[in-house]
Amino acid sequence: MFNRTRSLQTAAALVSISLVAGCGLLESQSSDDEEPIVVGTTSAPSTLDPAAAWDGSWELYRNVYQTLVSFPTGSSTPEPDAAEHCEFRGENNQVYHCELRKGLQFSDGSSLDAKDVKHSIDRIRKIGVTGGPEGMLGSLDKVTVEGERGVTFHLEKPDATFPFVLATPAMSLVNEEDYPAGKLRNDGAVTGSGPYVLQEYKEDDTSELVRNDKYKGPADRKNNAVTIRYFQDSAELAGALKKKDIDVTFRGLASEDIVDLDAQNSKKGIQLIEGAGTETRYLVFNPKDRWTKNPAVRKAIAQVIDRWAIAHNVYKDTVEPLYSMVPQGVAGHTTGFFDTFGKPSTAKARAILDEAGINEPVPLTLWYTTDRYGSVTRTEFEEIERQLEASKLFDIKLEGRPWRTYEKGYRAGEYPVFGRGWFPDFPDADNFIAPFVGENNALGTPYPSPKIIADLLPQSRREPDRGAVAREFEAAQEILVKDARLLPLWQGKQYVAASEEIAGGERALDPSTIMQMWELHRKTSW
């Protein structure tokens, strides 16, 4: 069983041990001739244009683009980034104003002003990519500019979470010259104002990042260059770290690889650092499918699924069962699915189907992505298949696709049941409910829920104290359980595995578990 007590002190402990033993490793700032830090991940960008992505592409965006506000290391509250300061005007959280830093430039030397900010946000809504970040701007009415540095967001309704939205990489700032108002940029290049410049990009292979000399912002860059390598397989990713082909991994390690790296860290010179635990996995049911449009089928599946078996047998206790779309540790978390369905029960599931007049095994195809979340995803779905087949209430077939085509498939409504993972856009319960409801949501499967959309979410967004809105989110989750359109499975923790020669891993993950590459640096010998 995996040792759950490992904490962020791992890196510091290793440094201490190496000094005592005379290994002579000290943390240092970067030098111009330093080799790039090589980071491995299974999370390759689906697009380089922020107007199109509400997915793991944000991992790259955070490092090459800039947002008005962002989450500094160790904070879950948005603070100025490209902006010098931001604030709500008035008392109803309906007008949000930002003043830009002086002298901002894009990496090509062109100026970044308030008009660029307006252009960046407006084009998201004008292009309107299905399942894209347009869904995050539901409360926005219009954007206006005041001089060269002032930009004001006028909201249709009060929304205390709007600064959190602006802090996401979806709201990355781009210029009008390279990013047209009505279509996506598709030349494979990036013009941003973030800490790094994307010097070279090979799709599904590598991103070469170098320091952006035009950058003005809060990031304290501790290295000059980072190479991101994209892997298709968790074992290959872990193997590359062991062979020192890469220096750091931050997304896509399978549970067995995490356990193995934890056991070998003293032998292989590897440190395992445990990050924030708000990553979730869940099943999505397509309401247009012949079978899954029936609530009885969805609830029968909810009654059969054994989350503990998934967490223990597949993920070796590196994840925990989840009974709510809002994970533990976030205000508003409940255990609604457990309270309603209790322990897995074939008898109860059969009764649900019988009452709906379904007396034969339900044929269903379950879809999963073969590369986005690591190769263990297939094993997870094989466990789900085993559980459902064992009940003799379902006839299950599994299908997998690489993320690029998988995403297009679920947006087109091709899958009756499919798996999704969620890495939060920002650390608030709103972000574990709002993205999945409404006509234009992150899943590409419309989910009208008038009570949540028109009542509970607006109520919660009037409250600037985000710890005081638990009641609204508890009520929203009662509706999610009743509808059973989404089925939470587990929540995990994010692990950074790194060579003992690398420092900064314990500071590299922001509250949304996106890696801030600028925190990584090499230790040097004395």
User: Is residue 20 pLDDT above 70, yes or no?
Assistant: no
> How far is the C-alpha of 370 from the C-alpha of 378, rounded, in Å?
7
Confidence of residue 267 (pLDDT cuts 50, 70, 90): low
> How far is the C-alpha of 510 from the C-alpha of 498, rounded, in Å?
17
Tell me the per-residue pLDDT of 318-351, one tens digit each, with 9 for 90 and over: 899 999 999 988 888 999 999 999 999 999 999 9
Per the CB < 8 A criterion, the answer to whether 281 and 420 are in contact is yes
Per the CB < 8 A criterion, the answer to whether 363 and 372 are in contact is no
Taking alpha carbons only, the member of 194, 190, 202 closest to residue 228 is 202
76 compared with 121, residue with greater pLDDT: 121
Predicted pLDDT at 11: 34
User: Is residue 245 pLDDT above 60, yes or no?
Assistant: yes
Per the CB < 8 A criterion, the answer to whether 371 and 403 are in contact is yes
Lowest pLDDT segment from 234-238, 265-269, 287-291, 464-468:
265-269
User: Is residue 526 pLDDT above 50, yes or no?
Assistant: no
Give me the mean pLDDT over the 372-390 stretch.
92
User: Is residue 224 pLDDT above 90, yes or no?
Assistant: yes
User: Is residue 264 pLDDT above 90, yes or no?
Assistant: no
User: Is residue 231 pLDDT above 60, yes or no?
Assistant: yes
> How far is the C-alpha of 67 from the C-alpha of 298, rounded, in Å?
39
Give me the mean pLDDT over the 130-152 stretch.
93
Give me the mean pLDDT over the 209-222 stretch.
97
Alpha-helical (H) ranges within 318-449 are 336-341, 346-355, 376-390, 403-411
User: Is residue 274 pLDDT above 90, yes or no?
Assistant: no
> How far is the C-alpha of 485 from the C-alpha of 294, rounded, in Å?
10
Beta bridge partners of 83: 100
Give me the mean pLDDT over the 254-269 stretch.
79
Tell me the per-residue pLDDT of 91-103, one tens digit each, with 9 for 90 and over: 788 999 999 999 9
Predicted pLDDT at 8: 34
DSSP 8-state secondary structure symbol assigned to residue 254: -
Taking alpha carbons only, the member of 173, 228, 96, 83 closest to residue 520 is 228
411 compared with 76, residue with greater pLDDT: 411
Predicted pLDDT at 18: 32
Strand 495-499 with 502-503, pairing = unpaired
Predicted pLDDT at 525: 43
Predicted pLDDT at 291: 98
Predicted pLDDT at 16: 32
Per the CB < 8 A criterion, the answer to whether 125 and 119 are in contact is no
> How far is the C-alpha of 426 from the C-alpha of 165, rounded, in Å?
7
396 compared with 234, residue with greater pLDDT: 396
Tell me the per-residue pLDDT of 2-11, one tens digit each, with 9 for 90 and over: 333 333 333 3
Predicted pLDDT at 32: 54
Give me the mean pLDDT over the 285-291 stretch.
95
Q: Strands, E, within 90-168: which ranges?
A: 95-100, 140-146, 150-155
Give me the mean pLDDT over the 200-209 stretch.
96
Give me the mean pLDDT over the 143-163 stretch.
96
Predicted pLDDT at 265: 63
Lowest pLDDT segment from 25-29, 71-75, 487-491, 509-513:
25-29
Predicted pLDDT at 189: 95
Confidence of residue 487 (pLDDT cuts 50, 70, 90): very high
- The mean of the pLDDT values for the chain is 89
